[in-house]
Amino acid sequence: MKIQKTIFYILMFLPLPVTLISLVFLPDQIPAHYGSDNQVTRWGSKYETLIFPLVIIIFGLIMVGISKYSAKQEKQGKNNEKICIVAGIFLLLIFNVMTAYFLYTDFNKVENLSTVSVDLSQLIFILLGIFMIVFGNIMPKIRMNSAMGLRTKWSMKNEMTWKKSQRFGGISFMVVGVLIILICCFTKGFACYLWSIGILILSLPIDIYYTYKVAKKY
């Protein structure tokens, strides 16, 4: 657990010092926003690059809070805390990759993302798909709590509905993760973003409906 927490905090704070050092070498004006056509729509100050690392730290602190809160709701052990930290590591890894990508485009003052060999949408959603497969695999191990897992008033009805809901949610997560990775193999850019988000949105009512059906039975 100590190793996982160490990795978590390294990934949580690493983007800030890296970005601070990068400020010395960045041009004064950098691409601050891209449109759906991958073209720059706004230029901004290089100091705007500090915003994302600060958001990452805030996200990390929220994950720490969730891990502690979910652990307190366990009757015994700290299983939920471990799962939350592992999930946080994967999500923070995605944010670290995004930071590296943003710094690359800033250094090179990229005006069209299509000219970059690595497509950002593909990169992010492939990593997200891998995360969903991993998290889906460990979802059945999550013990009942109100902060993490497939949580509805029906899934939290009793231990049986919780366990069955997490098992189904885990399978759902893994299937969606695989679908997102496949989408990334055949699309890129805004199309990749739309299809991936669409799959995520469509899976939510299915998961919620399952918890309702389980609660009616048990």
Q: Which sequence spans correspond to the domains of the chain?
A: 1-115, 119-218
Task: Tell me the pairing of strands 29-34 and 40-45.
Answer: antiparallel
Question: Would the pLDDT of 80 be above 90?
Answer: no
pLDDT of 217: 86
CA distance 48 to 200: 30
pLDDT digits 0-9 by tens, 7-60? 999 999 999 999 999 999 999 999 988 887 888 899 999 999 999 999 999 999
Q: The pTM is what?
A: 0.86
Q: In the predicted model, what is the mean pLDDT of the chain?
A: 92
pLDDT digits 0-9 by tens, 152-165? 999 999 999 999 99
Question: Would the pLDDT of 74 be above 80?
Answer: no
pLDDT of 76: 60
